């Protein structure tokens, strides 16, 4: 603003935030316990506060005004006056410039100093003291935007759950080293919108891109001071604003262009969202937004000493979903990203924390009830990380109908099985067929299980077969961070090696993991780079590594190119066979009035598994026959689906096993579709007769289809 704003009108309490209507800007901020609210206007570079405007209107605890002279591009923040009594939960401090919770654009990052804290650091009584230093010069600023955007004929791809292949990626890490993305666009929304990255996703067979957090977030002070960054972004401070560090243009419209481009390529966009906590941390954290606007309303506080925070997240605080205005903020945020940004769904970080009505996790919590009846949110993809760090927080299998869940029981079992642990085949059968033990009783379908072998948190697929132990020293936490329970196996040598036999085994293990994932019922989720052998050199908690450790490398070695081709092939097999992506659970019952069941579990002799077979702790080889000539399912147009009868042979033993090929409905032959012994998975065209023994290699997986003609 070149001139001071002179006209201040009462404005409206709705909508929340700064809203440009074509003539002026309405400002509305919730604070239940504030005594005075000031809107602070800054120069175009955000370095100088040029004006303060008191919001004198207050309606239903919403402070508001209208500035007919304001325009998009205006930089602003708030100062909120009120009591500073931490023991009662109040931490108002008007010396601290605050980010507005409904800001649609947040410019800059904090220049960390003691001035960002509401108390005097190092004082005798810590957070009970009061700091009068002004922090505005080092604070990010909110920016008014014009939300207009030409979406044209953009519409959601609406991929059916059972057809989805999710690809979890980091916006920056995916293109930061891509040789075919111009340098100025690498690591940005614009870079992800370009043809080479999108072509990689299309050729791979991805249907759904799941973006790690893009809500505006902060780098923790302790990381910045050690030369690190909060790379993953699970440290939100603005639930409406796309993080500007991923923007080449500096405009919110760049994110919209990315979504529109991915939609045009036939792919959905799901956001990983962090609504369980904020970047302000515990009682010793900075005062940046919610804490200074109305601490006792926004956060869960310890009832008998409201100086402290309930921490179900391990991040210092937990948002109070019991408060109607907090619940409204989250719902408004979700609707904004669907309606204004056109995203197709959400993955909720530590979702159990959102369900805590009192102390316990309530599966029918207000948050989930509100979403289920919402006409906008009830139609998008909803995925829960079904745990938090509080008591009773592990809730895998307990989320409501309409929700899918990250299934860590799938991850743990598949890892343990291919590592060679005994006693796994009983649970393996459950995980391969969609985890009906977790989801069917509540009326959910196989797609409720989001199956994954690896995720952003933990070892990459390559490291899973290359390291027994984590190697996180570079995180500067003395290797104490990250999980010690990885179910990994280094195949004989810790870390990289030139031993050709070990490298061959590792390559085969990676193929085994990927094939198991893509041929399991449920929704498969790949992590960006696993299809190309990406390594973090044994770091299983690279949250603070904004560098080559986390970024994808695109200069592929021959074995990485082979793995990429293998992944493309098995995804194409999954798409070609409806039997591998059923909408309903198997039940092991005869079909078509005959004797053949929809699924049959087989021992190496080619006979149906007996009770004693299942009970053998040493058993590591299993066959499964899928009857697919009539699926008893229909597609979205009502057409009856048919498929080949398929046979999967799985051998986690270190030695070859001669598996007797079964005979069903007469004398059939078997064509090999996949054998992970081969580097790219595609075998020579070979036909085997029923009753013949097939040599299933040590630590390998085979898929065959049944043929009538010899």
Active site members = 349, 385
Rounded to whole angstroms, the Cα distance separating 571 from 447 reads: 17
Rounded to whole angstroms, the Cα distance separating 695 from 507 reads: 19
Backbone angles phi, psi at 26, to 5 degrees: -95, 135
Torsion 338-342-347-349 (CA) sign: negative
Rounded to whole angstroms, the Cα distance separating 596 from 703 reads: 19
- Residue linked to tokens 């941390």: 281
Rounded to whole angstroms, the Cα distance separating 499 from 187 reads: 35
Query: Cα-Cα-Cα-Cα dihedral of 701, 705, 709, 710, to 10°?
Result: 0
Yes or no: say if 701 and 674 are a contact pair by the CB < 8 Å rule: yes
Residue 613's alpha-carbon distances to 117, 608, 610, 620, 622, in angstroms, are: 63, 9, 5, 11, 10
Backbone angles phi, psi at 450, to 5 degrees: -85, 105
Helix axis angle for 425-432 and 408-419, nearest 10°, is: 130
Copy the structure tokens of residue 684.
Answer: 């020579």
* Neighbouring residues of 85: CB distance < 8 A, sequence distance ≥ 6: none
Report the SS3 class of residue 428.
helix
- Residue linked to tokens 């690896």: 454
Rounded to whole angstroms, the Cα distance separating 295 from 318 reads: 11
* Neighbouring residues of 259: CB distance < 8 A, sequence distance ≥ 6: 154, 269, 341, 342, 343
Rounded to whole angstroms, the Cα distance separating 311 from 280 reads: 12
Residue 594's alpha-carbon distances to 37, 155, 632, 665, in angstroms, are: 75, 45, 14, 9
Rounded to whole angstroms, the Cα distance separating 417 from 264 reads: 40
Furthest-apart CA pair in the chain: how many Å?
A: 90
């Amino acid at each position: 603003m070149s001139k001071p704003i002179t006209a201040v009108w009462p404005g409206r309490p709705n909508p929340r935030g700064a809203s440009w209507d074509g003539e002026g800007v309405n400002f509305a901020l919730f604070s239940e316990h504030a005594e005075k609210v000031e809107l602070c206007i800054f120069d175009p570079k955000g370095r100088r506060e040029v004006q303060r405007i008191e919001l004198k209107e207050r309606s239903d605890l919403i402070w508001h005004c209208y500035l007919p002279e304001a325009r998009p591009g205006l930089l602003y923040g708030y100062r909120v006056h009120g009591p500073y009594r931490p023991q009662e939960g109040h931490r108002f401090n008007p010396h601290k410039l605050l980010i507005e919770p409904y800001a649609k654009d947040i410019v800059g990052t904090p220049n960390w100093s003691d001035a960002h804290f509401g108390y005097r650091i190092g004082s005798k009584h810590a957070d009970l003291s009061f700091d009068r230093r002004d922090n505005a010069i080092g604070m990010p600023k909110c920016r008014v935007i014009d939300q207009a955007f030409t979406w044209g004929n953009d519409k959601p791809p609406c991929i059916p759950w059972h057809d989805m292949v999710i690809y979890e990626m980091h916006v920056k890490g995916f293109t930061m080293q891509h040789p075919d993305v111009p340098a100025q666009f690498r690591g940005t929304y614009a870079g992800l919108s370009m043809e080479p990255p999108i072509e990689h996703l299309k050729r791979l067979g991805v249907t759904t891109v799941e973006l790690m957090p893009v809500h505006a977030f902060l780098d923790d002070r302790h990381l910045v001071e050690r030369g690190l960054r909060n790379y993953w972004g699970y440290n939100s401070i603005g639930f409406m604003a796309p993080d500007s560090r991923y923007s080449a243009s500096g405009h919110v419209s760049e994110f919209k262009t990315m979504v529109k481009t991915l939609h045009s390529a036939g792919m959905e966009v799901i956001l990983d969202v962090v609504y369980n906590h904020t970047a302000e941390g515990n009682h010793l954290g900075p005062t940046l937004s919610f804490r200074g606007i109305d601490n006792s309303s926004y956060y869960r506080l310890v009832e008998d000493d409201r100086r402290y925070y309930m921490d179900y997240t391990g991040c210092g605080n937990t948002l109070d979903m019991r408060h109607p205005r907090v619940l409204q903020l989250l719902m408004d945020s979700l609707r904004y990203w669907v309606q204004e940004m056109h995203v197709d769904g959400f993955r909720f970080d530590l979702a159990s924390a959102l369900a805590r009505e009192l102390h316990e996790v309530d599966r029918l919590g207000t948050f989930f009830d509100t979403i289920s009846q919402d006409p906008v949110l009830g139609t998008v993809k909803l995925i829960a990380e079904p745990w938090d760090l509080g008591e009773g927080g592990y809730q895998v299998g307990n989320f409501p109908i309409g929700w899918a869940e990250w299934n860590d029981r799938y991850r743990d079992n598949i890892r343990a099985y291919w590592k060679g642990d005994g006693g796994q085949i009983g649970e393996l059968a459950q995980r391969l067929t969609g985890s009906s033990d977790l989801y069917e009783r509540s009326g959910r379908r196989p797609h409720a299980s989001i199956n994954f072998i690896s995720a952003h948190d933990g070892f990459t697929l390559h490291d899973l077969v290359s390291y027994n132990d984590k190697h996180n020293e570079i995180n500067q936490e003395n290797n104490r961070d990250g999980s010690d329970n990885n179910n990994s196996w280094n195949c004989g040598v810790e870390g990289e090696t030139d031993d050709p036999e070990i490298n061959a085994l590792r390559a085969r293990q990676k193929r085994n993991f990927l094939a198991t994932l893509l041929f399991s019922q449920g929704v498969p989720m790949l992590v960006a780079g696993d299809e190309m052998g990406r390594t973090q050199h044994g770091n299983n908690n690279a949250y603070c590594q904004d560098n080559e450790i986390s970024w994808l490398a695109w200069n592929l070695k021959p074995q990485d190119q082979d793995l990429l081709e293998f992944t493309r092939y098995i995804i194409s097999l999954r798409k070609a066979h409806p039997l591998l992506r059923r909408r309903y659970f198997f039940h092991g019952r005869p079909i078509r009035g005959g004797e053949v069941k929809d699924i049959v579990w087989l021992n190496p002799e080619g006979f149906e598994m007996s009770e004693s077979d299942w009970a053998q702790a040493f058993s590591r080889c299993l066959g499964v026959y899928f009857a697919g000539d009539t699926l008893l399912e229909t597609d979205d147009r009502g057409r009856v689906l048919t498929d080949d009868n398929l046979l999967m042979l799985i051998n986690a033993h270190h030695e070859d096993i001669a598996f007797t090929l079964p005979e069903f409905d007469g004398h059939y032959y078997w064509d090999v579709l996949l054998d992970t012994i081969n580097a790219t998975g595609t075998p020579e065209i070979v036909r085997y007769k029923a009753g013949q023994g097939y040599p299933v290699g040590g630590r390998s997986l085979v898929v065959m289809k049944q043929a009538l003609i010899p």
